[in-house]
């Protein structure tokens, strides 16, 4: 197939591909009445409605707290990653509590949203589509491959306060050891929470 013919096919496909997001977008939201650390599931309740508003078929891919959780199973900073299947984009939501250095108190929670098209707007792949080197439908096929790269996570999951009890039984002392907390797969292949210290990895069920 010639580049000219591919460009023609691409123009037609792009014309009917109106739901796809093609440019990066950022916005934020302040939660005036929230000023305390939250468990992952409680913070998620503020995140999910916006993700579904952008794409009602939004799929959760991972959750991360670089600073782990405290003795209550809560954190002041969470990251949530979504696929937006019908918008052909990915969404990063950062839930955080700004801290006043003078009073050592938390301010109102802030959620930062970053929508990133797949592939990025300046990607060589998009340039190839524009030049007729690649079919638009092939680019969509690459998105389907990306979607399968990581499994979807359920929206209902065990709270990090419950997961904390399991980690403690396994020997993790959150008051003494620095660690990160993320979702992933256990050695058996099931969804799980993963606490990672410098030397040890701890697993407990996600659902």
Query: E-strand spans in the chain?
Result: 25-31, 59-65, 77-84, 89-96, 99-100, 105-106, 109-117, 180-185, 191-196, 201-205
Cα-only R_g, the chain: 20
Say what the pTM is.
0.91
- Mean pLDDT for the stretch of residues 129-148: 89
* pLDDT exceeds cutoff 80 at 10: no
For 40-62, write each residue's pLDDT tens digit.
999 999 999 999 999 999 999 99
In a domain, 185, yes or no: no
Residue span of the structural domain in which 70 resides:
3-154
Pick the range with the lowest mean pLDDT from 88-92, 144-148, 153-157: 144-148
**Among 85, 75, 66, CA closest to 159:** 75
In a domain, 134, yes or no: yes
Higher local confidence (pLDDT), 184 or 16: 184
In a domain, 205, yes or no: no
In a domain, 163, yes or no: no
In a domain, 57, yes or no: yes
In a domain, 56, yes or no: yes
In a domain, 58, yes or no: yes
Mean pLDDT of the chain: 92
Task: Give how many domains the chain has, as a whole number.
Answer: 1
In a domain, 189, yes or no: no
User: Do 129 and 1 touch, CB atoms closer than 8 A?
Assistant: no
């Amino acid at each position: 197939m010639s580049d000219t013919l591919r460009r023609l096919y691409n123009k037609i496909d792009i014309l009917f591909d109106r739901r796809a997001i093609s440019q990066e977008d950022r916005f934020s939201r302040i939660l005036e009445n929230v000023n305390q650390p939250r468990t992952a599931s409680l913070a998620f309740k503020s995140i999910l409605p916006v993700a579904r508003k952008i794409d009602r078929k939004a799929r959760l891919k991972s959750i991360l707290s670089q600073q782990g959780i405290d003795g209550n199973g809560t954190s002041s900073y969470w990251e949530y990653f979504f696929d937006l299947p019908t918008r052909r984009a990915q969404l990063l939501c950062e839930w955080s509590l700004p801290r006043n250095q003078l009073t050592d108190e938390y301010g109102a929670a802030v959620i930062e949203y970053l929508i990133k098209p797949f592939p990025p707007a300046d990607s060589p792949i998009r340039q190839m589509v524009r030049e007729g080197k690649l079919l638009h439908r092939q680019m969509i096929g690459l998105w389907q491959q990306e979607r399968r790269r990581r499994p979807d996570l359920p929206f209902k999951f065990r709270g990090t306060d419950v997961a904390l009890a399991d980690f403690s039984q396994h020997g993790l002392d959150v008051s003494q050891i620095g660690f990160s907390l993320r979702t992933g797969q256990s050695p058996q292949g099931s969804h799980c929470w993963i606490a990672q210290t410098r030397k040890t990895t701890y697993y407990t069920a996600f659902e």
